[in-house]
Amino acid sequence: MYWRQTTIAVMLLLVVEGALRKWVFPEAQAALYLAKDVLLLGAYLGFAMTHGFAAPARQAQPFVILLAMTAAWGLLEMLNPALPSLVLAAVGWRSYFFYVPLLFMVPHLFDSPDHLYRALGRYVLFAIPVAALGVVQFFSPMDSPMNTNVQHELGVGDPTGFYDIDNRVRVTGPFAFISGYTSYLLVAAVLVVALLAGKGWSFRGNITLYGALILILAAMFATGSRAPVYSLIAVLAIYAVFAAAAGDLSIGAAFRACVGAAILATAIWNLLPEPATAFYQRATGTDDTMSRILSPLVEPFQILGEVGPFGFGIGAAHQSAAFLVDSDYSWWTNGLVAEAETSKVMLELGILGFIFVFLFRIGITLFALRTAFELKSRPERSLALVLALFLGLQIFGSVIFNPTMDVLYWFAVGMLFALHRYEERDAWIAGNLDVMPGIQIPGSAERGRTRNA
């Protein structure tokens, strides 16, 4: 009965879970870490009893089949003799597949595109205090309780600082670690881009969205992480190209977008110069950017000979493995350690599992890109294009081994199929108007698609 409310609660708990673990209930870190999974499991059961787990749209069927094959291979890999623990295997399988049901649930979570856009708008507004907290943390002392990180040992905090700037911490916001915070900020930023693009980048009525983007960018700089900043730049640049090709980026909209970008840069540089300067010094003070970009593409095939055709079992490279096995040396992988997620997947699942996982990621990205050119409404096309770019960034990104991005990734896939479900429903109603008088498509008034017999 309450699966919708529970799912929304999980999306909010995802943001504040780290704050609860760091500051409110540090002695209950494990329970809080699992709380969202317990709630989500209840939502899954409620959804299954009311809707089942049929493909949410006709176009989703090939992807559901591919996911089923991948999950079956993952179950076989739980029996890999190299694994030291069945518990580790279960943790590994959860990381790959526990959040996949969001693909089925999200299309039923919102009744119409307008309902979806309102929910995304509220989620973006929720990002304002989350991003502002990161800025406050940046200007707080490193030994401040506000800058505590969550570690395996209870009560231990070890914040990471900017090495060339005294007493300035790389912030984590309300999250347990930097990786979770940067994942959330990137998603919030691309959602702002989608909402602004759907409104033609107009300034009127959208000042709050532009203000949210300023704070999100400032918080990104304060994390010191290059990936979300470079990813957002890539999203904006590629979006401009594809939106122009689809006819959704007029000269006026492009001019407003450029003016908005200039205002954002000026505001951050003048109002919050220290985070921008700290990020710039860290980004230009390292020379490993290109190697970090190429590593996910090259490293998996470099270790293929050592991994073998079946890998070392699902969960073998999970970040909790050392804790669960109580060993700092990964003897179950013959000491082989991987950093990039692509390499970890190869290490765990072997070449066949690797193909399954990344065939889905590449396929869903191409499908989202095609969707961006097929949908009839500009706001829906804009959202689909931004989703395509986000999913494309995650092809070789960290999804499985990043609990925050794991949830957000599958929620994004669910939103993509939600757009198709709305389109199929509208087409069905339009084709049956002759026998269904007085039909009004829910949520379509603003899009000019209300139909009355």
| 309-313 mean pLDDT | 94
Which residue did the predictor score with more confidence, 168 or 48?
Answer: 48
Is residue 124 predicted with pLDDT exceeding 80?
yes
Is residue 442 predicted with pLDDT exceeding 60?
no
Which residue did the predictor score with more confidence, 178 or 158?
Answer: 178
Q: Which tens digit of pLDDT belongs to each residue from 240-262?
A: 888 888 777 777 777 777 777 77
Q: Give the whole-angstrom CA distance, residue 16 versus residue 6.
A: 15
Triad 12, 342, 219: Cα angle to 5°: 40
Per-residue burial over 192-206, b if 16 or more Cβ lie within 10 Å, else e, is bbbbbbbbbbeeeeb
Lowest mean pLDDT among 21-25, 44-48, 254-258, 312-316: 254-258
Q: How confident is the model at residue 82 (pLDDT cuts 50, 70, 90)?
A: very high
Give the rounded percent of residues in the chain with a pLDDT score beyond 90.
Answer: 49
Q: Give the whole-angstrom CA distance, residue 15 versus residue 414.
A: 19
Is residue 172 predicted with pLDDT exceeding 70?
yes
41: how many CB neighbours lie within 10 A of its CB? 14
Q: How confident is the model at residue 363 (pLDDT cuts 50, 70, 90)?
A: very high
Residue 451 lies in a domain: no
| pLDDT recorded at residue 159 | 65
Q: Give the whole-angstrom CA distance, residue 426 versus residue 291.
A: 47
For 141, left (φ over 0), alpha (ψ -120 to 50), or beta?
A: beta
| 390-410 mean pLDDT | 95
| 133-153 mean pLDDT | 79
130: how many CB neighbours lie within 10 A of its CB? 22
Is residue 345 predicted with pLDDT exceeding 70?
yes
Q: Give the whole-angstrom CA distance, residue 171 versus residue 147.
A: 7
Contact 376, 391 (CB under 8 A): no
Which residue did the predictor score with more confidence, 452 or 186?
Answer: 186
Is residue 337 predicted with pLDDT exceeding 50?
yes
State residue 75 phi and psi, 5-degree precision: -65, -40
| pLDDT recorded at residue 268 | 73
Output DSSP code: residue 22. I
Contact 188, 131 (CB under 8 A): yes
Residue 193 lies in a domain: yes
Q: How confident is the model at residue 296 (pLDDT cuts 50, 70, 90)?
A: confident
Residue 307 lies in a domain: yes
Q: How confident is the model at residue 153 (pLDDT cuts 50, 70, 90)?
A: very low
Q: Which tens digit of pLDDT belongs to each residue from 208-224?
A: 998 899 899 999 998 98
Contact 417, 401 (CB under 8 A): no
Q: How far is CA 51 from CA 56, 67, 102, 413, in A?
A: 10, 19, 13, 18
Residues linked to residue 32 through DSSP beta bridges, in sequence order: none
pTM value? 0.89
Residue 440 lies in a domain: no
Is residue 453 predicted with pLDDT exceeding 50?
no
Give the rounded percent of residues in the chain with a pLDDT score beyond 70.
Answer: 89
Lowest mean pLDDT among 165-174, 245-254, 373-382, 435-444: 435-444
Q: How confident is the model at residue 3 (pLDDT cuts 50, 70, 90)?
A: very high
Residue 39 lies in a domain: yes
Residue 441 lies in a domain: no
Residue 438 lies in a domain: no
Number of domains comprising the chain: 1
Domain residue limits at 117: 3-431
Residues in the chain: 453
Residue 437 lies in a domain: no
